[in-house]
A and B are shown apart, each in its own frame.
Chain A
Amino acid sequence: NAGVMQNPRHLVRRRGQEARLRCSPMKGHSHVYWYRQLPEEGLKFMVYLQKENIIDESGMPKERFSAEFPKEGPSILRIQQVVRGDSAAYFCASSPKGSVQETQYFGPGTRLLVL
């Protein structure tokens, strides 16, 4: 039973480029969450999506960041015109129902480095 998958695992971008991070939830899971982790800090919630819908994006920066979870294919977190402060580990998690008290299972993360 494959777990949550993310790719790429490592991504290097120069300032001003775009970064696309992909997340495939566990089989049977239709709810995806994105979190950002800065070095030696906890995880910060960014966005929660169901298939084709953004449910809660209260943690997403207002500019340059967007997320989608299409009917087919993985969820995508897109960062336009990256800056050095975007360097972090980005984790996605999935849950089967997305209702309260459902366990979230995390992927291995994408480590983004902006030069």
Chain B
Amino acid sequence: GENVEQHPSTLSVQEGDSAVIKCTYSDSASNYFPWYKQELGKRPQLIIDIRSNVGEKKDQRIAVTLNKTAKHFSLHITETQPEDSAVYFCAALNQAGTALIFGKGTTLSVSS
């Protein structure tokens, strides 16, 4: 079945550094890739998404890149801040368009 692999599972950076999280997906028909941020005990919140007709999208300090040929996409956070500390999940929409398939998450810790 459809699968999304996410790496690394944990990531520790110093404030001001960049953080990169990578995901690969198995279903070549997937065409929508959102990223969610989840703080402890809170709901997942959409931070950025990308559709298959573009290769890159940026929103202030956050950017996402998509390589459809290689079936992988990445989240880039620049100038990290302590409030960026959270669990980040990538996801891919399944072929039927009925479900998001999530990666297992990356725990990002930003120390000041």
What is the interface size of chain B, counting residues whose CB is below 8 A from a CB of the partner? Answer: 24
B108 within 8 A of A: no
Stretch at the interface among A14-22, A64-72, A104-112: A104-112
| Complex interface: chain B residues within 8 A of A104 (CB) | 34, 46, 100
A103 touches B34 (CB 8 A): yes
Binary interface profile of B, 76-112, with partner A (CB < 8 Å = 1, else 0)? 0000000000000100010011111111110000000
B93 touches A101 (CB 8 A): yes
18 contacts across the A-B interface (CB closer than 8 A) = A33-B100, A35-B100, A42-B103, A42-B104, A43-B100, A44-B102, A45-B101, A56-B96, A98-B97, A98-B98, A100-B31, A100-B97, A101-B32, A103-B49, A104-B46, A106-B43, A106-B44, A107-B43
Q: Can you add 7 more A-B contacts, CB < 8 Å, to A41-B104, A42-B103?
A: A33-B99, A43-B102, A48-B98, A100-B32, A103-B49, A106-B44, A108-B42
Binding site for A on B (CB under 8 A): 6, 31-32, 34, 36, 42-46, 49, 51, 89, 93, 96-105
